Structure 1
Amino acid sequence: MTERYLGTPAMPAPDGRMTGPVPAHLPDRLAICLWDFSWYTRAGAGEPFADVDRAMRETAERGFNAVRICAAPLLVAGGLGLDGLAADLEIDGLGAAPTGGRYGQRTRWYDASGGYRLDVRARLFELLAAARRHGVVVVLASWEYQQSPAFAADPRWFEAIDAVPLERRYDALADAFGRLLDDVRAAGLIEVVAFTELHNEVDFSILPPVEQGGVAAMERLRARHPDQLVTVSYGKPPHLAMHRLSPELGVAQSHVYSYGVLDALQQRIDIRAEGTEGFPNADLRALLRPDAPTVAEYGRPADWKLRATVVTDQMVYGYDWIDPVAWDAWLDAHVDRYREVMLREIESRVVAVAEWARWRGIPAVIGEGWVGYTPRDGGFEEGHVGLAMAEHGIRTAVAHGVWGVVPCSNAAPHHPMWATHGDWMRRMNALATEEGTR
């Protein structure tokens, strides 16, 4: 028997050391819980964030040492004349539906009932203080040009930020975060901040490309707070052309969703589009609950709320009235065709982000992932297939020196799996934080 020469591997063995340095006072590894904007949109009596200290304690008990939030900087520190609104913001969700209930009532993230008022700025500092008490650090971001203002009863927040010219929006975010970080520092809470994102998913938000103002804005914020890591995040990192990313990113914060079978279903039922003639089609109608109203009967959220968010009226109707059992059954029946490709996609994207970060000498973070956006009561991602994909992503991230990672985007107080998957979260967070070194 002779040995055959089959070539030299193009990639070396995974390097578990950190892709780039982080400030010494921050954790070696971050297990991130995605609180997003829900810490103020789901804060009514009896809701998951009514008591922010309790929510932080429960988060720490599940092994998380970081939370990632929309800090609403344009609202609380934007200099846009919104101070009074920030101190007394009425939360409304997407509004009441004419057939009863609320728009978004069975979606993830949009199932906010509202009906209460909140001092968002005061609650933000309460959150930071609670994080310090429980040994948790906080990633400050903004979802304001993606959806946050849609949950307010008053359109003034959206109208004020929408009036900012497109080319000035990164500057507005940098100035707002600069003032907010000034105040966080003055309150003695600056060491609680893990890093600051000018905005969440800049590629999926009402913002220009980062090269058109975002790079300069990051530089200005970093000059104002030189001890802070400053970046933006990407909803879909350009994993096939990572050289296009700006070298000014202080953290390679990217989201890795592998839709696969989920995308096949979404395209089949045309649920994420808008203005489709004949919606809902026959495939979607076959998956709806028996009590689903017609589209005409259900109506749609107020126009300004839809303009303030990236979700569509078809998504709201579809996710509100889908039968989650039928939804999950379709995914389970078809996933075998997509499983290996989804696993490979997760791995390849994580590796691409990590290796780019190592080349740039900055920390890498996977701040969201792994399958995608599903109805609130759907259990596919919480089932054995979704959990296996999540663990594969986490193990890949750790093996390649990623600083921070989520167990999955649904592992947070405002999602059903918070009550059912505590042990799994603890295991995944231990995996994310106990392996590897700086």
Structure 2
Amino acid sequence: MSEPGTRYLGTPLAGVPDAAPTGPVPAHLPGRLAICLWDFSWYTRAGAGEPFEDLDRAMAETVERGYDAVRICAAPLLVAGGPELGLDALARDLEIEGLGATPVGGYYGERTRWYDAPGGYRLDVRSRLFELVDAAKRHGVVVVLASWEYQQSPAFAADPAWFRAIDAVPVDERHRVLAEAFDRLLTDLEAAGLADAIAFTELHNEVDFSILPPIEQDGEAAIRWLGARHPGQLVTASYGKPPHLAMHRVSPALGVAQFHVYSYGVLDALQRRIDIRSEGTEGFPNAELRTLLRADAPSFAEYGRPAHWKLEATVITDQMLYGYDWIDPAKWDAWLVAHLDPYREVMLREVESRVVAIAEWARWRAVPAVVGEGWVGYTPRDGRFEETGFGLELAEHGIRTALAHGVWGVVACSNAAPHHPMWADVAWQRRMTALITEGPDA
């Protein structure tokens, strides 16, 4: 019976946030991961004068900003695909071309984030991968190994052989081929004394947004097989948009709950208005997009499109390339700022609720949780909406929520890496990485 004057209002199911780790991690790994998203750019932006020309320098700059983890496309199918794929010679001498030259001068993707790769050089990707992991170990950094190969990596090569080889693998065999390639790669890294520099291995990046079957179709078996082959390693896959409203559908095979948290909000409203992410739209670009283009923008027809196989090898479209290459970033940012207010609270709540859903699922499964990408979404390279003002507020809110709920690893921002303009904001990155690795009182 309750005390006089009190009311019993029930017991909240969720209770208070639990900052204890959602799941155990190997003892040799950091207690928190402040993740820098190097993705595939460590080999697609490695030409003279580019951010990854000198891997040791790039790693030192990463540590200077407080990161203790980098997440990369390890290109396992290229560098360790074995006789089934027959890419060993190409891996030792890969010509990076980017998306190719345009009819109006310059190259496709020139002002498109992640695709602004001019190419024009050759490199031994396999040797460079081992150089990267070795540099990470020397600098006290751990590496998240993933693959973007069924999403975009081969599109940057001059030779379509890489894409053709992996595209020839039957869809229902692709998880197996990825697992076997990672098995070879991890075995060689272990032999080189570099196993303790690996944070964990993802069978593939964003399995829900890649040219792969659902993870439940043989992907679970591939993850478990790879984990059994390397019992000292954490093995998983990542989701670009996990089912936050139905997390019970997520595969129980994941050894790490590595999910991505983007809240497009006002950005999605703009993208829909200008129809920038579609393909084959009649009358593209529409009137709304034309008002946001640079004064010197060519017509869509004049700009053309990359080689057909390159578009087959990636998830972006010719309309996206044209739009992001020729958008006026000041006009883009101004539209987002002017229309933000109705979306502000929704975006903050969406990031918070998604991070909590991820963390609680991980705690239920007793595995470490990681937010490997976030927070607003895909913007033009020279836009600054995510890198200033509300964008930074949203990122910090996501990071603090993650830490309050025991998430092991958090990206400061997907755009905070050597190949993005945001790299210049050293102070903000140091503040966020200290928050992640040292706690809120740092």
Q: What TM-score range do you get, normalising by the shorter chain?
A: over 0.9
Paired position in structure 2 for 1:49: 52
How far off its partner does 1:9 sit?
2.5
Matched to 1:376, the amino acid is: R
**Deviation digits for residues 174-232 of structure 1, max 9, x if unmatched?**
00000000000010000000000000000000000000010010111011111110000
Paired position in structure 1 for 2:438: 434
**Deviation digits for residues 305-330 of structure 1, max 9, x if unmatched?**
00000000000000000000000000
Paired position in structure 1 for 2:29: 26
How far off its partner does 1:81 sit?
0.7
Equivalent in 286, 303, 323 of residue 328 of structure 2: 323
How far off its partner does 1:245 sit?
1.1
TM alignment of 1:90-101, pairs within 5 A: 90-101=95-106
Mapped partners of 2:432, 2:336: distance in 1:
24
Paired position in structure 2 for 1:378: 383
Equivalent in 59, 76, 80 of residue 79 of structure 2: 76
How far off its partner does 1:37 sit?
0.0
Matched to 1:11, the amino acid is: A
**Deviation digits for residues 358-398 of structure 1, max 9, x if unmatched?**
01000000000000000000000001100000000000000
TM alignment of 1:30-429, pairs within 5 A: 30-79=33-82, 80-419=85-424, 421-429=425-433
What 5-or-longer segments of structure 2 have no aligned partner? none
How far off its partner does 1:5 sit?
5.1
Mapped partners of 1:401, 1:383: distance in 2:
27
Mapped partners of 2:384, 2:7: distance in 1:
48
User: Equivalent residue of 1:338, what SS?
Assistant: helix
Matched to 1:273, the amino acid is: S
Matched to 1:431, the amino acid is: L
How far off its partner does 1:10 sit?
2.9
Matched to 1:33, the amino acid is: C
Mapped partners of 1:13, 1:334: distance in 2:
34
Matched to 1:154, the amino acid is: D
Asked whether 1:15 is paired with 2:5, we answer: no
What 5-or-longer segments of structure 1 have no aligned partner? none
User: Equivalent residue of 1:98, what SS?
Assistant: coil
Mapped partners of 2:113, 2:294: distance in 1:
17
Mapped partners of 2:327, 2:73: distance in 1:
28
Matched to 2:400, the amino acid is: R
Mapped partners of 2:114, 2:10: distance in 1:
49
Matched to 1:407, the amino acid is: A
User: Equivalent residue of 2:217, what SS?
Assistant: coil
Mapped partners of 1:147, 1:104: distance in 2:
13
Mapped partners of 2:389, 2:8: distance in 1:
40
Mapped partners of 1:206, 1:150: distance in 2:
13
Mapped partners of 2:389, 2:35: distance in 1:
21
User: Equivalent residue of 1:280, what SS?
Assistant: coil
Matched to 1:78, the amino acid is: G
**Deviation digits for residues 153-183 of structure 1, max 9, x if unmatched?**
0000000000000000000000000000000
Mapped partners of 1:241, 1:173: distance in 2:
27
Mapped partners of 2:261, 2:7: distance in 1:
37
User: Equivalent residue of 2:261, what SS?
Assistant: strand
How far off its partner does 1:2 sit?
6.2
Instruction: State percent identity of aligned pairs.
Output: 78
Q: How many positions carry a matched residue from both structures?
A: 435
Deviation >6 Å, runs of 4+: none
What TM-score, normalized to structure 2?
Answer: 0.97
How far off its partner does 1:145 sit?
0.1
How far off its partner does 1:146 sit?
0.1
Mapped partners of 1:8, 1:191: distance in 2:
44
What TM-score, normalized to structure 1?
Answer: 0.98
How far off its partner does 1:247 sit?
1.2
Matched to 1:47, the amino acid is: E
Mapped partners of 1:10, 1:129: distance in 2:
46
**Deviation digits for residues 383-428 of structure 1, max 9, x if unmatched?**
1100000000000000000000001000000000101x11100100
